[in-house]
Amino acid sequence: MEEMRALRDAISEVLETMCFMCPVPLKEPPKNPDPEEHWTVVELGLGDRGAGSLRIYFPWALAVEMANGLKGEADLIPEADEIQDVLKEVTNMVGGSLLHKLDPEAKISLQLPRVLGDMPPWETEGALAVELDGRVILARLVWNQGNAQ
């Protein structure tokens, strides 16, 4: 399965089943993330020796909605650490679904997801975007040299 299609499908599956959200894939990711948006980036390492990584860029306002959706609540403002935990769990589920599609023999492992302190530079290579109610989630899959799938 082609990587970007697998990533798009993994994101859609997780957001639909876990957050009750219906993402709409964009034809191409934006060249620059919205500078007015507060982004939280979660990185998930792929492989024991740093074979690659998956980064998902979440707009904070949408992250609050996702946390409430997972908790089955509405109109509450969860604590920042609760929201980050939800984003890490969503990223972990996306990574698991993605590897199930790309690596059915389970040769590649997942590392623990982590929230990055600063927003890393955005590049569109290996990236995609989905829209949810006017907000955009960005994702980027990067394989290190010699480890491309």
Dihedral angle computed from the Cα positions of residues 81, 91, 58 and 4, in that order, rounded to the nearest 10 degrees: 170
From 57, 56, 77, select the one nearest 67 (Cα to Cα): 77
Q: What's the pLDDT score for residue 48?
A: 74
* Helix (H) or strand (E) segment spanning residue 93: helix 80-102
pTM, full prediction: 0.90
Mean pLDDT by 10 residues, the chain (149 residues): 89 90 92 90 86 93 84 75 93 93 83 89 92 92 69
DSSP 8-state symbol, 46: E
